[in-house]
């Protein structure tokens, strides 16, 4: 989708600002006199960060603002690269003793000082351009939002005969509302929850207009919107109850009292459509403002299960996707299908296009409108293309999903966008995903929660927004798996488009080498095929941070991995011989290589001094873990589950003081574990389930 990529800028700038803060407090920074330079850059970023909300809002329509955001984002990436280089050079193995000061050798220090000077100059130029745009700071841009008409505003009106596939849902919601008549709660609050474009508002309209509520004293429809305003909600209810001549009341006290006078003992149905507010206090106040009668029924529509549960008296109603047949019926309805002379030829094309909707009625409606007036050849072309990458799709579904993305805080934006590295339909392991986020610096610093705990919270939020779904293969090798709706995946890809290079050996793709591509997704590659390896390696810049391989074959080979790689995800690959060059990745923190078919634990893995997370689950051929595993001094999470041929764990594993998780489940032939595991003082999870040959500890 056009113009979405700029929405990642605030997330990148925020993350790099925190990275600068950490570097400023580093001992080596102070020894090498770079503290003032770093602080100056951090202050400059913070100054511009305050205006990024307005900049991102304007970037959708203004090309110059988009270009400025890209310059700022790229500068932030450059700072991040510089800090990584700074960190590498400051490690003991990279430093020389200068008297009693353990500091940089003089040449690297001069090089770093030059880079600092150049970076500060680049930021000053960006700051000057920033001032010329006259951005509003913080949330002040929201003042104008109140004054603008909202094109998404809804009403209660609906043509019921045109609605397809929601009769059962209407009956279910009506049943839930009626069952709650004897509830002890003063009011009934039932949320309808689901993905953007799934039909929450349509279902609420069907319920609102149902004959069951015709005899109610009052029926009120309030469009809440992203800009939450309690007084606006209260005044809207009052004006609809009183009709013409009512005036806006300017205090909560007057509004609350007026609502009680008007609605006490009155049978009232209120629909609060499109609720986004997450603040507990505001949601409590919202509940309080309508809690004026035990005869009150309140129906709320929201995209977030978290918001729904904060604001309900009845368990939220989760709206399901439509099936392909229903999507085809919606497409026919909106494309003028029945009046076409060539409808028999169009039918199979339309049915194929219906499958692209992913069960979203808004998508089916949009595609129906697109097909209207198209000739047969255009329809065929659309059915064979990834239609959501086309400019003409930019007015409906993806912008609707983009609204959900816009509400995310910066760190969640980074985490969501990164999910675009996986192929469409990929089953994503929860543990693998969280540790990739951690390695890439996407987890917000916290004094109260560990990075892993925060990652769990992020996953929960994405599930609540329907950005992630539990996979049909919910448990794979005993681990929780997720998938993404196809259109949500398209959104993630559109956000990360400037940072991601996609290479598929079987199709022609725009995999050109660009300056700020920092993630790579590869598919259908045979890494032992020299010509394809050479072709692939030419598009990767040296500072690539993460690579995901799927449907690829590794048979050793001489694939040249970028040296700055933090994450290497080989899930879904066939690996008969681990690539020896992988041992050169001194910055690698996450290695995922499930189902490795090599009989030996790869020696190259023991050379990865910064490795934090190692997942070899399902590697049934590996028969032994080498004693050299002790070289992985930073390893915190080791997954050897379903390594069914492993019999012995080496004594040296007990020297890995940072180990927190050790998963040996389904190591069916494991006969013993070493006494030295008692030395693992940081161990939190030890899984020995289904180790049938293990007789004692």
Is pLDDT of 474 > 90? no
Q: Tell me, what's the pLDDT at 27? A: 54
| Residue entry with tokens 């102070």 | 30
Helices (H), 50-156: 52-59, 63-90, 106-133, 142-147
Task: For residue 182, give Cα distances in angstroms to 32, 109, 157, 417.
Answer: 72, 75, 30, 45
Task: For residue 415, give Cα distances in angstroms to 67, 154, 187, 337.
Answer: 23, 31, 38, 42
Same domain, 249 and 394: no
User: Strand 268-275 vs strand 613-615: parallel, antiparallel, or unpaired?
Assistant: unpaired
Same domain, 264 and 384: no
| Residue 293 covered by a domain | yes
Same domain, 425 and 472: yes
Of 629, 685, 688, 687, the residue nearest 655 (C-alpha): 629
Question: Per residue in 406-436, pLDDT tens?
Answer: 888 889 999 999 999 999 989 999 999 999 9
Q: Provide φ and ψ at 639, rounded to 5°.
A: -115, 110
Three-state DSSP at 414 gives helix
In whole angstroms, what is the distance from residue 479 CA to residue 202 CA? 37
Which secondary structure element, helix H or strand E, spans residue 547, and what is its range?
strand 546-550
Question: Per residue in 641-653, pLDDT tens?
Answer: 999 999 989 999 9
Same domain, 333 and 477: yes
Is pLDDT of 329 > 50? yes
How large is the average pLDDT for residues 137-149?
Answer: 50
| Residue 388 covered by a domain | yes
In whole angstroms, what is the distance from residue 53 CA to residue 57 CA? 6
Same domain, 415 and 300: no
Task: For residue 268, give Cα distances in angstroms to 177, 253, 579, 656.
Answer: 12, 21, 68, 64
Same domain, 623 and 477: no
Same domain, 345 and 368: yes
How large is the average pLDDT for residues 332-340?
Answer: 89
Same domain, 233 and 111: no
Same domain, 462 and 477: yes
Same domain, 336 and 470: yes
Q: Tell me, what's the pLDDT at 209? A: 96
| Residue 607 covered by a domain | yes
Same domain, 308 and 343: no
Length of the chain: 697
C-alpha atoms less than 13 angstroms from C-alpha of 405 in its C-beta half-sphere: 32
Cβ atoms 376, 349 nearer than 8 A: yes
For 137, counting Cβ atoms within 10 Å of its Cβ (0-12 exposed, 13-18 middle, 19+ buried), the class is middle
The pTM score is 0.84
Domain harbouring 302, CATH code: 3.40.50.300
The residue segments making up the domain with residue 459 are 324-488
Tokens read off for 177 = 């509302």
DSSP per-residue codes, 443-463: SPP-SSS-HHHHHHHHHHHHH
| Residue 417 covered by a domain | yes
When comparing pLDDT for 95 and 439, which is higher? 439
Q: How many domains does the chain have?
A: 4
Same domain, 112 and 238: no
Question: Per residue in 663-690, pLDDT tens?
Answer: 999 999 999 889 999 999 999 999 999 9
Which secondary structure element, helix H or strand E, spans residue 361, and what is its range?
helix 361-371
479-483, strands of its sheet edge to edge:
428-429, 479-483, 469-476
Q: Tell me, what's the pLDDT at 61? A: 77
What does pLDDT average to over the chain? Answer: 84
How large is the average pLDDT for residues 164-184?
Answer: 84
Q: Tell me, what's the pLDDT at 394? A: 47
In whole angstroms, what is the distance from residue 537 CA to residue 520 CA? 11
Question: Per residue in 218-242, pLDDT tens?
Answer: 999 999 988 899 999 999 999 999 9
Last residue of a domain, one of 488, 520, 548: 488
How large is the average pLDDT for residues 182-196?
Answer: 81
Tokens read off for 583 = 């041992």
């Amino acid at each position: 989708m056009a113009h979405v990529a700029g929405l990642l800028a605030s997330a990148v700038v925020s993350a790099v600002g925190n990275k600068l803060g950490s570097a400023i407090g580093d001992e080596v920074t102070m020894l090498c006199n770079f503290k003032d330079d770093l602080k100056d850059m951090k202050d400059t970023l913070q100054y511009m960060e305050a205006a990024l909300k307005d900049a991102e809002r304007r970037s959708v329509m203004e090309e110059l603002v988009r270009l400025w955001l890209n310059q700022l984002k790229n500068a932030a990436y450059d700072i991040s690269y510089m800090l990584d280089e700074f960190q590498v050079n400051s490690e003991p193995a990279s430093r020389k003793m200068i008297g009693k000061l353990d500091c940089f050798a003089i040449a690297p220090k001069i090089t770093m000082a030059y880079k600092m000077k150049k970076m500060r100059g680049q930021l000053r130029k960006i700051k000057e351009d920033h001032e010329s745009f006259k951005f509003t700071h913080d949330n002040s841009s929201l003042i104008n939002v109140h004054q603008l008409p909202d094109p998404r505003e809804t009403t209660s009106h609906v043509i019921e005969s045109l609605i397809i596939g929601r009769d059962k849902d209407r009956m279910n919601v009506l049943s839930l509302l009626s069952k709650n008549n004897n509830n002890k709660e003063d009011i009934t609050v039932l949320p309808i929850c689901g993905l953007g474009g799934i039909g929450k508002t349509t279902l609420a309209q069907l319920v609102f207009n149902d004959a069951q509520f015709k005899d109610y004293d009052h029926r009120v429809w309030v469009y809440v919107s992203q800009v939450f305003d309690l007084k606006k909600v209260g005044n809207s209810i009052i004006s609809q109850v009183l009709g013409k001549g009512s005036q806006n009341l300017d205090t909560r006290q007057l509004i609350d009292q007026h609502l009680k006078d008007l609605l006490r003992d009155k049978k009232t149905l209120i629909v609060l459509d499109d609720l986004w507010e997450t603040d507990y206090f505001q949601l409590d106040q919202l509940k309080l403002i309508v809690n004026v009668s035990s005869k009150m029924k309140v129906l709320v529509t929201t995209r977030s299960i978290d918001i729904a549960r904060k604001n309900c008296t009845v368990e939220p109603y989760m709206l399901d996707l439509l099936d392909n047949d229903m999507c085809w019926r919606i497409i026919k309805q909106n494309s003028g299908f029945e009046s076409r002379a060539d409808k028999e030829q169009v039918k199979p094309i339309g049915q194929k296009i219906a499958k692209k909707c992913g069960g979203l009625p808004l998508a089916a409606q949009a595609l129906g409108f697109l097909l209207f007036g198209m000739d047969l050849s255009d329809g065929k072309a659309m059915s064979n293309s990834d239609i959501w990458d086309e400019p003409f799709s930019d007015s409906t579904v993806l912008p609707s999903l983009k609204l959900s993305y816009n509400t995310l805080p910066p760190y969640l934006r980074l985490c969501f966008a990164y999910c675009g590295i996986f192929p469409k339909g990929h089953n994503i392991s929860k543990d693998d995903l969280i540790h990739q986020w951690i390695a890439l610096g996407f987890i917000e610093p916290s004094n109260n929660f560990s990075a892993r705990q925060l990652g769990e919270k992020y996953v929960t939020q994405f599930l609540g927004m329907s950005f992630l779904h539990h996979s049909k293969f919910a448990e794979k090798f005993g681990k929780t798996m997720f998938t993404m709706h196809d259109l949500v995946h398209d959104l993630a890809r559109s956000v990360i488009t400037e940072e991601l290079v996609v290479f598929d050996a079987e199709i022609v793709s725009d995999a050109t080498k660009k300056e700020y591509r920092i993630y790579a997704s590869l598919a259908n590659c045979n890494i032992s095929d020299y010509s394809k390896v050479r072709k692939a390696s030419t598009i990767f810049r040296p500072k690539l941070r993460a690579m995901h391989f799927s449907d690829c074959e590794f048979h050793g080979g001489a694939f040249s991995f970028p040296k700055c790689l933090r994450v290497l995800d080989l899930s879904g690959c066939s690996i008969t011989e681990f690539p020896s060059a992988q041992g050169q990745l001194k910055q690698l923190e996450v290695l995922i290589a499930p189902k490795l078919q090599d009989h030996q634990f790869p020696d190259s893995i023991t050379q990865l001094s910064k490795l934090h997370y190692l997942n070899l689950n399902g590697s049934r051929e590996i028969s032994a873990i080498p004693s050299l595993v002790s070289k992985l001094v930073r390893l915190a999470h080791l997954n050897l589950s379903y390594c069914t041929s492993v019999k012995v764990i080496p004594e040296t594993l007990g020297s890995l003081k940072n180990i927190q998780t050790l998963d040996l489940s389904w190591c069916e032939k494991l006969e013993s574990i070493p006494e030295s595991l008692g030395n693992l003082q940081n161990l939190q999870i030890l899984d020995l389930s289904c180790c049938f040959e293990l007789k004692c500890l």
